[in-house]
Chains A and B, each alone.
Chain A
Amino acid sequence: MLRYIVKRIVQMIPILFMISIISFIIIQLPPGSYLNTLIAQMRATGDEVDMEMIEALRIRYSLDKPMHIQYFNWMKGIITRGDFGFSFEWNRPVSHLIWERLGLSVAVSVSAMLFSWIIAFPIAIYSAVRKHTLGDYFFTFVGFLGLSTPNFMLALILMFISSKYFGFTVGGLFSPEYMMAPWSWARFVDMLTHIWIPMIVVGTAGTAGLIRVLRNNLLDELGKPYVVAARSKGISTVRLVFKYPVRLALIPFISTVGWQLPNMVSGEAVTATVLSLPTAGPLMLAALRSQDMYLAGSFLLLLALLTMIGTLISDLLLVLVDPRIRYE
């Protein structure tokens, strides 16, 4: 097993290189660079544009060099020093910026994921076992409602409810007094009073889809002969359903669970923007828009890496739940 994992990790390296090249090219595809954005911004605010300063910046960030040189410099920094480059817009190292926000992103995403699992699993199982009953139709209706409600809309509604009826500050993950404070128990509690909105918003989007998929997987399994054979042993319905068909219905689900990993970084971008959460999603969106290329490139690289790690985790989990799958 260890050999298999090592092999898979070694295989990731060339893929990551290829992805880094492609993402670097894609970021550079739109005409101009961050400096053009900067010039435009300065003009818009009526500042005088100092062309000498712009030129100095161009040289400082090696923007005057050809693209492949820029790429090699960036890669050299990452491999030799773990330096992912500098963010033009924030004037800070990329790695600091990402790390700072990643924790909160993970907090929001994990809580949303758990929320959606806790809601979706029991409903899916109920809907499949009691298929075509009133309860099943009710949950199907609610599920589709959740699936078709735009996230930003739900975010706005919950924000309204939260501020009007509960008196919490609108948006963000912290009350103003804790915004810049160091971590403490009080700050954590404060976060909990805020995190439920993004948790519900991000969670409901996935819940409906999850219910449909699990319900259908389970319906497939419930009709199989091994279920009848297990029933013929005299096991109670609840025990039977959880031991046999649910276990098998989870296999397709587990094969994709690893893809939640990249979602943790970029999945809540729209919601986070609406709710002005200090998470990674909006940062990435802004970086792409302003052509803050090292920041955007690092994000894309991180997403690629997380996708690959997620797939590996899924594959390893699959081996645990399905004995028919073996390492080569």
Chain B
Amino acid sequence: MNPKNILEVRDLVVKFKLSEGIVHAVNGVSYDVPEGKSIGIVGESGCGKTVSSYALNRLLPPYATLSGQILFRQQDGNIIDIAKLKPEGREIRAIRGRDIAMIFQEPMTSLSPVHTICNQISEALILFQGMTKKQARNRTIELLKLVGIPQAERRVDEYPFQFSGGMRQRAMIAMALARNPRVLIADEPTTALDVTLQAQVLSLIQDLQNRFNLSMILITHALGVVAHMVETVNIMYLGRIVETGPTMEIFEEPLHPYTQGLLQSIPKLTGRLGERVSSIPGSVPSAYDIPKGCPFEARCKHRMEICREEMPKPVTVGSEHTVYCHLYTGREAARDAANA
């Protein structure tokens, strides 16, 4: 394991066994999370980005099967493979309670409607940090203040239904922070919020990430969201990472046809009135029956004979920019030749 990294995911595969067949949700995903840095995972609905992040905390339902490695560097320096832990055992629960915290995409339904905010946030404090009820309550009030909830002393005893959507997401963030985590997974934290709130919540997350030196995985379907928040982006399609690299490089020089399509489909403020937003033709293939070649082949403008037959190998261009596409197979060799 690279000493810079806190988390390394290797060849992660997640399948769901359903009565209709096997859903291949994640098909061999690898990425690194450097300590204290933030990375983004971007892809459209159903590409496996949420599933792959649930796998990190072993939050997948019992009918899911998991293989590959999820190497995590613990506080004491020991490296543990989360993929090998017992699903609801003591070790994974300790990791959930102390190390890897999650912010969920549905603040409306991710809080219990019949327990107070205080009860839900202080739970982890009492359980994992050995606080008394009173200490936990005071800490909860502090946390609520930290995430910008006004009149925290009063609102701490309210129920989620008395909170607005933005407040609930702030409370969820406070719940995640309560555990003093080292890794924060934010799964589409702003999808369910108004546009005006999205920016506020994102800047809050970024601010907290900086302040507490958190390592963060930001999952989103909106490329615009990650642009300012993460150092590295992984573009996911149909359960695979198709391109990965430093955020600025991906924006300036997208290589994979899918990434290019994603970037072109962002509506521009400078566009003419009535101009159509460009979209990627076709739809995502079924996850029941994944193609053996490149996952994007059916929708790709540049498809070649080989794309249908063979999964492209990673091609590294630039220092940390990697793309999985047959279009670039020669490039690496050419560059290596140039360097030689």
What is the interface of chain A, defined by CB distance below 8 A to chain B?
224-226, 228-237, 243-244, 247-248, 251, 321-324
**Do B88 and A236 touch across chains, with their CB atoms under 8 A apart?**
yes
- Is the pair A324, B161 in contact by a Cβ cutoff of 8 Å? yes
Q: Using CB atoms, name the residue of chain B closest to A247.
A: B114
The closest CB in chain B to the CB of A251 belongs to B114
A234 touches B175 (CB 8 A): no
Determine whether the beta carbon of B93 is less than 8 Å from that of A234.
yes
Residues of A within 8 A of B114 (CB): 247-248, 251, 321-324
A244 to B120, CA, bound (A): 10
Point out the residues of chain A lying under 8 angstroms from B104, CB to CB. Answer: 225, 228-229, 232
**Is the beta-carbon distance between B113 and A234 smaller than 8 angstroms?**
no
| B161 and A233 contact, CB distance less than 8 A | no
Determine if A248 and B112 form an interchain contact, defined as CB atoms under 8 angstroms apart.
Answer: yes
Residue of A nearest to B116 (CB): A323
**Contact of A244 with B112 at beta-carbon distance under 8 Å, contacts A228-B104, A324-B159 already known:** yes
Q: Which residues of the other chain, A, contact B102 by a CB distance below 8 angstroms?
A: 229, 232
A243 neighbours in B (Cβ, 8 Å)? 115
Distance A225 CA – B112 CA, assembled complex (angstroms): 9
CB-defined A-B contacts under 8 Å, sample of 14: A224-B109, A226-B113, A228-B59, A228-B110, A229-B175, A232-B101, A234-B127, A235-B93, A235-B97, A247-B114, A248-B113, A248-B114, A323-B114, A324-B113
CA distance A237 to B102 in the complex (A): 18
B59 and A231: CB pair below 8 A? yes
CA distance A224 to B160 in the complex (A): 15
B95 pairs with A234, CB closer than 8 A: yes
Residues of A within 8 A of B229 (CB): none
In the bound complex, residues from chain B placing their C-beta under 8 Å from that of A224 are 109
Contact with B112, one of A230, A234, A237, A251 (Cβ below 8 angstroms)? A230
CB distance from B119 to the nearest CB of A (A): 9
Q: Roughly how many angstroms separate A235 CA and B115 CA in the complex, as a whole number?
A: 15
- Of chain B, the residue at the smallest CB distance from A323 is B159
Chain B interface residue bracket vs A: 20 to 34
List B residues at the A interface (Cβ < 8 Å): 54, 57, 59, 88, 93-98, 101-102, 104, 106, 109-116, 120, 123-124, 127-128, 159, 161, 172, 175, 179
**C-alpha spacing A226/B123, complex, angstroms:** 14
Instruction: Enumerate chain B residues within 8 angstroms of A244, measured Cβ to Cβ.
Output: 112, 115
Interface of A is mostly: helix
Q: Out of A233, A247, A321, which one reaches B97, CB within 8 Å?
A: A233
What number of residue pairs across chains A and B have CB atoms under 8 A from each other? 75
The residue on A at minimum CB distance from B101 is: A232
Closest to B172 in A: A229
**A234 touching B97 in the complex, CB below 8 Å, given contacts A323-B114, A323-B159:** yes
Inter-chain contact B175/A233, CB cutoff 8 Å? yes
Starting from the known contacts A233-B123, A233-B124, 19 additional A-B residue pairs (CB-CB under 8 Å) come to A224-B109, A225-B104, A226-B110, A226-B113, A228-B54, A229-B172, A231-B96, A232-B57, A232-B101, A234-B95, A234-B98, A235-B123, A235-B127, A247-B112, A248-B113, A248-B114, A321-B114, A323-B161, A324-B161
Alpha-carbon distance between A321 and B115 when the two chains are bound, in angstroms? 10
Smallest beta-carbon distance B59→chain A, Å: 6
B99 to chain A, nearest CB (A): 9
- Whether the pair B111, A229 counts as a contact (CB closer than 8 A) is yes
A252 to chain B, nearest CB (A): 13
Q: Which single residue of chain A is at the shortest CB-CB distance from B87?
A: A237
Q: Smallest CB-CB separation from B123: which chain A residue?
A: A233
Instruction: Kindly identify which residue among A226, A233, A237, A321 contacts B96, using a CB–CB cutoff of 8 Å.
Output: A233
Contacts of B112 in A (CB 8 A): 226, 230, 244, 247-248
The 10 closest A-B pairs by CB, nearest first: A234-B97, A234-B96, A229-B110, A234-B93, A225-B109, A225-B110, A226-B112, A232-B102, A233-B124, A323-B159
Residues from chain B with a CB closer than 8 A to the CB of A232 are 57, 59, 96, 101-102, 104
Q: Give which listed residue, B93, B106, B161, contacts A225 with CB less than 8 A.
A: B106
Instruction: Quote the shortest CB–CB distance from A98 to chain B (angstroms).
Output: 40
Distance in Å: Cβ of B172 to nearest Cβ of chain A: 7
